[in-house]
Chains A and B, each alone.
Chain A
Amino acid sequence: MEEKQLGLDLKEIIEASLDARDERISLQEFHSRVVNAGLRRDVIEEISRTKREPEWMLKLRLKGLELFEKLPTPNWLPDVLAGLDISSMNLYVKPNTGTARNWDEVPNEIRNYYDELGIIKSEQDYLAGLVAQFESEPIYENVKKELEKKGVIMLSMESAVQKYPDLVKEYYMRIFPPSDHKFAALHAALSSGGVFVYVPKNVRLVTPIEGFFVIGTPQEAQFEHTLIVADENSSIHFIEGCSAPRLSKDSFHDGMVELYAKRNARIKFTTIQNWSKNVINFNNKRAWADENATIEWVEGSLGAKVSLVYPSTILRGEGATSTSLVVTMAGSPGDWKDSGSKMIHSAPNTKSKVVNKNIGFNGGVNVYRGLIRVNKGATAARAYVKCDSLMLDDITKAYTFPHNEVMEEDADVAHEAHTLRMNEEQLFYLKVRGIDEKEATSMLVLGFIDDIMRELPFEYATMLNQVIKLELEKLGAVA
């Protein structure tokens, strides 16, 4: 399917989000009501009550809390996350506004913030739909009329739970159950906001839909949940953008994405994560792919101090395919970018491809933990993993922990890993062609991730390009 040429320069979004990060936009005093910090049963009950949730949702939250207390902290986490005191954070921050379908109904100070990020304009110009979240709650949701006519549902998770409780219940946290690990359980307990999308049978969307998430309060914890169900023979491209201004204290993001592509359906899910440096990002992403369905993950994990993201696909149906292209960048001391895709082959003739590219400098750390599993019965599975690290200086580190579990003999599982340093002769060549060192470096770095850039819509590639260039400005600033 050809993607329609996007009309607007998304560069503006990224510029504005960078502006916000660098505190060039004055941080406004947002009126918000913070439910008492503390991870207690009564706090969770109050959140559920405020949202007027059905009984099953409250039960799921309480089960999440119970599991969170019971499950051990994963032993491979970096110290900063293992030592995080969740209960001291603002677990639920309700902006003083409801969810609008029209930007005029959104309070000025919040609307201005989104306006400065360029999101309002990009929605007008090329998005088929948008849900915007501020703090813990969606403040805006809208989907273009023609999509509504085709039966496409795109709502904030809160509205979806109210309007389509049965549909949501059928899929919500089935793909990624709370029992999976401690932070999935925490997410279940505190989930708030996010997007629900349902694409009916045979509906193929050509323009992307976007969800944009902003953290505005220091020490906030955000737990948005995105659930996309693409029914048989349908297709959708969902773009997820994240931003936070530089706040005084660390914030925590424990979001979840569940995708379900039914027979012959295709879901492409693109994330440009550009949180400010004091956000700790733990993302839970998992997809189901039924017979001949396709799941494509594209992830640019650029911002945040610590980011952990592992896009995973369970290839449940015969002939299902999944790709995962991930770029991570760690460019400051203390930066820890942990990533890795998981492909679980559970049916015959399934295919997966993982390309992971790490860029490190100024003492940043990149870690790859990937898994390819071919279950018994998943005959003729094919999996390919390529994992490259580019380190621009000697104080930077990259670790690779690939893991294969193959239960079928005829599986074809290939793994390639390369660790690269900046090539001095290439750099010299570019300089002798009149290109200065910074420009030459960014040309080589962008060349390194070229196969991922090519997968992005033009505007997003431009934006990624720009973020990387700006980050590279800091190259050598520490040493």
Chain B
Amino acid sequence: MSELKIENLTVEVEGKVILRNVNLSVKQGEIHALMGPNGSGKTSLSLAIMGHQKYKIREGRILLDGEDITNLEPNEKVKRGLFLAFQNPVEIDSIKLSTLLVAEYNAFYGERTTPLEVLNYVKSSVKNVGLTESILNRGVFQGFSGGEKKRIEMAQMLLLKPKISILDEPDSGVDVDGLKIIADAINKLKVENNTGYIIITHYRRILDYVNPDLVHVLNKGTVVASGGKELARLIDEKGYEAVIKN
């Protein structure tokens, strides 16, 4: 059973501490929701876990299946089964989406699959999130709507089948149909691949579709509350103040 363990993580950006002593442990097949007000450090945590160079880890470590992966290159973390869906992925208009998906498939699985098979996987990953193949000919995220970006992030998750997946606001800027498709992708991989999740969100909406085992609340870079689904309901009804004030 795979497990992502974040132990006592303290992170700095340009000399300023933005995450302090964060502990979090996610096992395969579990869904953890990570909530918190704007600027509480949710996105920073996801980027620090993946190894963004701007985020300096001052203390603590990140373990995947017992292995210390704190200082590994991002691509090495991905190879070991970690995934991040970005909140707002950067546009790369010089690279075609199909080129990216083929390259990441080959990087992840090694080039043992024939190019034709890879292309089929890539095409079906896009169709699985309700998009047409023609989107593959466009530059990566070039002129994509918010919803299309989120769906393509999900398509890549389906392609790489991670052990543990971090989703940064997969539901923001997405309409009801889009939300359903994204939730389906999450559930599909949980069932078929026993993927474990950290889902960063502001809304209870998505948690009605995917059933979180635990909800954590981050404030000012620290986990201030953890609990069951009822915590999300409480926040939805009374705002973050209800859980943060203690």
Contacts and interface: CB of A to CB of B under 8 A. Distances in A.
Interface of A: 423-426, 428-437, 439-440, 443-444, 447-448, 450
Interface stretch (B1-9, B82-90, B201-209, B211-219): B82-90
Contacts of B52: 428
Contacts of A439: 103, 107
Most B CB atoms within 10 A — which of A425, A434, A439? A434
Interface string B49-77: 01111000000000000000000011100
Given A426-B92, A444-B95, A450-B94, A432 B100 contact: no
Contacts of B154: none
B194 interface: no
A355 B107 CA distance: 32
A443 B73 contact: no
B78 interface: yes
A182 B156 CA distance: 58
Interface of B: 50-53, 73-75, 78-79, 84, 86, 89-90, 92, 94-95, 99-100, 103-104, 107-108, 156, 160
A431 B92 contact: no
Nearest to A390: B94
Given A424-B53, A436-B107, A443-B103, A431 B74 contact: yes
A431 B75 CA distance: 5
22 contacts: A426-B90, A429-B86, A429-B89, A429-B90, A430-B100, A431-B51, A431-B73, A432-B50, A433-B75, A433-B78, A434-B75, A434-B78, A434-B107, A434-B108, A434-B160, A435-B103, A435-B104, A437-B73, A437-B75, A443-B99, A444-B92, A444-B94
Contacts of B95: 443-444, 447
Most B CB atoms within 10 A — which of A424, A425, A448? A425
Q: Is the interface of A mostly helix, strand, loop or mixed?
A: helix
A433 B100 contact: yes
Contacts of B100: 430, 433, 443
A447 B94 contact: yes
A430 B160 CA distance: 14
Top 6 A-B residue pairs of the complex, sorted by shortest distance between their CB atoms:
A447-B94, A431-B74, A434-B78, A433-B104, A434-B107, A425-B90
Contacts of A433: 75, 78, 100, 103-104, 107, 156, 160
Contact of A432 (B78, B92, B99, B103): B78
A440 B90 CA distance: 14
A440 B104 CA distance: 10
A472 B94 CA distance: 18
A436 B74 CA distance: 8
A433 B92 CA distance: 13
Nearest to B91: A426
A346 B52 CA distance: 55
A221 to B, nearest CB: 39
